[in-house]
A and B are shown apart, each in its own frame.
Chain A
Amino acid sequence: MINLETPKKQAQLIDQAHQLAMNMLRPISRKYDRAEHEYPKELDMLAALIDGVSETGATGGAGAGGVRRDDRATDDPATVRNGANLASVLSVAEMCWGDTALLLSMPRQGLGNSAIASVANEEQLERYKGTWAAMAITEPGIGSDSANLTTTAVKDGDEYVINGEKIYVTSGDRADSVVVWATLDKELGRAAIKSFLVRKDNPGLKVERLEHKLGIRASDTAAITFTDCRVPAEDLLGSPEIDTKSGFAGAMATFDNTRPLVAAMAVGCARASLDLTRDLLDQAGVTIDYDRPAQNQSAAAATFLQLEADWEGAQLLMMQAAWMADNRVPNSLEASMAKAKAGRVGSDVTLSCVQLCGTLGYSEVELLEKWARDSKILDIFEGTQQIQQLIVARRILGLSSSELK
């Protein structure tokens, strides 16, 4: 039965996330935007709180690890599930309504944790419990074209030896481990790309520097070098076999799971702008009427309606992608659709809200200008707008990556 409301059983969780975002993240939002690279110590307590609640099962499996596809579940396939994926996107959106950068800095909730949840085997999952894992894919010369990365992993006895340089590693300084993408054999292309969990205390790993950024400044973004960095063979995530048939699928499966999460970040960040702008407009005597034609209302109200409609589209595409994952339906098309729509809507909404609020929106007195800076990265990382369009176009048109380059 068609229903696109927030699931009844997750309503309480989302309320809690909203309260956390409002009462813990918002009060320190501007502080850490100004104090870039300073560790937001308040988050330790918040993370402990979240871990505690997770233990009780009350989070419905939400969080970075919530993206794992649990194949053991033997639910009646006819029963529609609203599970951890949906709970995760909805609570991530709520937290990013609070502050996107702080959500990204949440201990033990890194994108690396989502990668582990997506591709690690059961034994690894148990062994890595409690780690805070960052994700290292991008290199100085390789962005979207991750199949061509140059970091190498060479098998040497019971170990792999990793060499290369990674940039844009979110939480790369604060996390206690890093999931690194490296190739076992450059000649074999995508199929040879594997991910490895490297502990931060590994002597072959060095954090070279932290970036100064346009937005999400509370989140540390590191450049990391790996020099003859030796990791045990059992820290290769998933299968060590180079299966040229399944190709890139193993490592890329992570993206099907993390893209809806990034869409959720954009949805949450944009809603912060919409909520405040609606309130400010209301105080200025502009109310939004959903019944009267937009062109018969003020230009500000008409603009707002257009922004909110786009935002709603992003939110529902995000929920669709997560819902499919919960019901074990392949969703890479829908995950990319959600990411593409949410990414561009995030920018449009936050930038337009600054416009609607004038210098008040532009000033650091309010957070609107910050959200307009924070949102930009969400249309870039985990696959840029253009990469999402490529994926969607290839799927829709039935074209391979050599046909539609």
Chain B
Amino acid sequence: MTGTTGHALVKGVTRSYIYVMSFMSSLRPGGRHGLSSRETRDPIGLAVAAVNRLAQSDLIDRVGLRKQTEHAVYSTTRNGFRAATAAGRTFARAGRRTSGARPAPAATRGVFDLTPTEDEQMLLDVVKELSAELLRPAAAEADDVCTAPAEVLAAAQELGLPGLGVPEALGGIMEERSAMAGTLVAEALAHGDMGLAVATLAPGAVATAIGLWGTEAQQQTYLPAFTGTDVPAAALTIAEPTVLFDPFTLSTTALRDGDGFVLDGVKSAVVRGAEAELFVVAAQLDGTPALFLVESGAEGLEVEADPSMGVRAAGLARLHLTGVRVGADALLGDSDGRAYRECVRLSRLAWCALAVGTGQAVLDYVKEYVNERQAFGEPISHRQSVAFMVADMAIELQAMRLLTWKAASRAARGQDFAREVGLARQLCTEKGMRIGLDGVQLLGGHGFVKEHPVERWYRDLRAVGVMEGVVMV
């Protein structure tokens, strides 16, 4: 055997080895159907997989008997299909690129107090009514169709909720920094329904961000739409669909290009993505996260429905950004990460408030249930194992509320609230989830079926720990 032949033989063997290996790896089950990439199929597994493929009726579709035409229309209840973002309105450019108007920090008497101000209480009374009479009855259906009904959004707009965080000078409703009022409002709305609360509050998050960090030009350009009678859908997008997501290390990037920026990446938890006319997109700029205003209809923007475990009424979606060009005036706030950090904190604060509201809904519901449900000849509430779960629910819920209020009141006064909101998020995530879990448990089988709202609250309360952005106070 000559050296050349031997070499060719080795080459041939190597080539067929590579071929076989790549064939084998295509037979690996991992990466789909919730299977870990470490799974392998043995001969029996391969045979079963083949039979299963045969058994699936869409094989018939593949041979051309039926053409797949569904998915042609964007649906909020199915993922996997991308569509262009809404055509959207034209936001008329106005104002100068100087610092915008800012809400004044709230004053303090330095007295420990758990009583809302008169203004806050008045607002709260109206919002509670809206929550009980409109949000709660609409919740189950909205969860099912992953869409917030128009009358709920209209009612929130009528109350001026999207403008809650906007300074009065710019057409908003509060004189001072409204983080406390916003927290109370979010809590009250989530008592009705978390998904609808999120849908209702999402435009306000964008407006509040522009109120807090916008230039005069950005405020003049965008805010009138949020304080008027035709409030646009808008979404504050920070989260990304990756494991161990850290909002301070983003995969979405903003590259400087001429006097503007080019954005690339994928954002998740985008509320009413297909209808949104304005996005605030968090992207890494020169190694530091920053916020960018992106109008819908921009070249390279695509939205993909992303129905999730809960908060479904908010119509969650993913936003794909592929070479999206924005102008220099798109940067919202600073580029050194200060505004962004505060944005993340204020958003987490809003999620804490939502957890408190939904947690209260669970407590109120199970209280009635365990007092009425009979077993062994008496209400189940007469058993300590049941009653103590309710007691713990009440104790932890109040602790969640107090931590959230403390962070909110510090934010409203313009004090540092990093520690307080960090702890509030920790507690609201852990105990909020526990409340959802125990809520279902206390109803037993009844908790597991959709006849009762508790299973929805269970799904919604799971959101608090994973969400970033979306809402803000």
> Does B136 make an interface contact (CB < 8 A)?
no
**Contact A317 B399, beta carbon cutoff 8 Å:** yes
Contact A3 B427, CB 8 Å, known A314-B399, A397-B370:
no
Q: Considering the chains assembled together, what is the distance between the CA atoms of A6 and B247 in angstroms?
A: 32
Q: Considering the chains assembled together, what is the distance between the CA atoms of A352 and B219 in angstroms?
A: 49
Q: Considering the chains assembled together, what is the distance between the CA atoms of A290 and B410 in angstroms?
A: 15
- Considering only residues 279-315 of chain A, those with a C-beta below 8 Å from chain B are 290-296, 305-306, 308-310, 312-314
> Does B12 make an interface contact (CB < 8 A)?
no
Nearest CB on A from B113, distance (A): 5
> Does A129 make an interface contact (CB < 8 A)?
no
Contacts of B394 in A (CB 8 A): 337, 392, 396
Q: Considering the chains assembled together, what is the distance between the CA atoms of A296 and B36 in angstroms?
A: 22
**Contact B341 A4, beta carbon cutoff 8 Å:** no
> Does B371 make an interface contact (CB < 8 A)?
yes
Contact A316 B381, CB 8 Å, known A3-B409, A80-B113, A392-B391:
no
**Contact B387 A2, beta carbon cutoff 8 Å:** no
**Contact B246 A305, beta carbon cutoff 8 Å:** no
Q: Considering the chains assembled together, what is the distance between the CA atoms of A217 and B405 in angstroms?
A: 38
Kindly name the residue among B345, B363, B410, B426 whose own CB sees the greatest number of chain A CB atoms within 10 A.
B426
Q: Considering the chains assembled together, what is the distance between the CA atoms of A7 and B110 in angstroms?
A: 6
Nearest CB on B from A260, distance (A): 13
**Contact B344 A291, beta carbon cutoff 8 Å:** yes
Contact A3 B108, CB 8 Å, known A290-B421, A404-B384:
yes
**Contact B341 A1, beta carbon cutoff 8 Å:** no
> Does B402 make an interface contact (CB < 8 A)?
yes
Contact A82 B111, CB 8 Å, known A316-B403, A340-B395, A393-B391:
yes
- For A80, the closest partner residue in chain B by CB is B113
Q: Considering the chains assembled together, what is the distance between the CA atoms of A335 and B387 in angstroms?
A: 18
Contacts of B419 in A (CB 8 A): 290
Q: Considering the chains assembled together, what is the distance between the CA atoms of A405 and B180 in angstroms?
A: 40
Kindly name the residue among B120, B363, B427 whose own CB sees the greatest number of chain A CB atoms within 10 A.
B427
Interface string of A301-339 (1 = CB under 8 A from B): 000011011101110110110010000000000100100
**Contact A398 B115, beta carbon cutoff 8 Å:** no
Q: Considering the chains assembled together, what is the distance between the CA atoms of A341 and B247 in angstroms?
A: 32
**Contact A292 B399, beta carbon cutoff 8 Å:** no
Contact A308 B423, CB 8 Å, known A2-B115, A8-B111:
yes
Interface string of B393-411 (1 = CB under 8 A from A): 0111011101101101110
**Contact B367 A396, beta carbon cutoff 8 Å:** yes
- For B406, the closest partner residue in chain A by CB is A4
Contacts of B384 in A (CB 8 A): 389-390, 393, 404-405
> Does B137 make an interface contact (CB < 8 A)?
no
Contacts of A308 in B (CB 8 A): 423, 426
- For B466, the closest partner residue in chain A by CB is A293
Interface string of B107-120 (1 = CB under 8 A from A): 01111111111001
> Does A17 make an interface contact (CB < 8 A)?
no
Contact-residue bracket for chain A: 35 or more
Contacts of A337 in B (CB 8 A): 394-395, 398
Contact A313 B371, CB 8 Å, known A1-B108, A3-B108:
no
Main secondary structure of the interface of A (DSSP, over half): helix
**Contact A290 B422, beta carbon cutoff 8 Å:** yes
Nearest CB on B from A259, distance (A): 13
Contacts of A82 in B (CB 8 A): 111-112
**Contact A3 B113, beta carbon cutoff 8 Å:** yes
* A316 contact from B106, B110, B113, B406, Cβ within 8 A: B406
* B381 contact from A6, A340, A392, A404, Cβ within 8 A: A404
* B112 contact from A6, A292, A386, A403, Cβ within 8 A: A6
Q: Considering the chains assembled together, what is the distance between the CA atoms of A405 and B384 in angstroms?
A: 8
Nearest CB on A from B185, distance (A): 13
Nearest CB on A from B168, distance (A): 18
**Contact A399 B387, beta carbon cutoff 8 Å:** yes
**Contact A319 B112, beta carbon cutoff 8 Å:** yes
Contacts of B410 in A (CB 8 A): 5
> Does B329 make an interface contact (CB < 8 A)?
no
> Does A86 make an interface contact (CB < 8 A)?
yes
In the A-B complex, the 7 residue pairs with the closest CB atoms: A290-B422, A8-B110, A313-B399, A316-B402, A393-B387, A309-B426, A4-B406
**B residues within 8 Å of A by Cβ?**
106, 108-117, 120, 180, 244-248, 341, 344-345, 363, 367, 370-371, 379, 381-382, 384, 387-388, 390-392, 394-396, 398-400, 402-403, 405-406, 408-410, 418-424, 426-427, 430
**A residues within 8 Å of B by Cβ?**
1-9, 80, 82, 86, 290-296, 305-306, 308-310, 312-314, 316-317, 319-320, 323, 334, 337, 340-341, 386, 389-390, 392-394, 396-399, 403-405
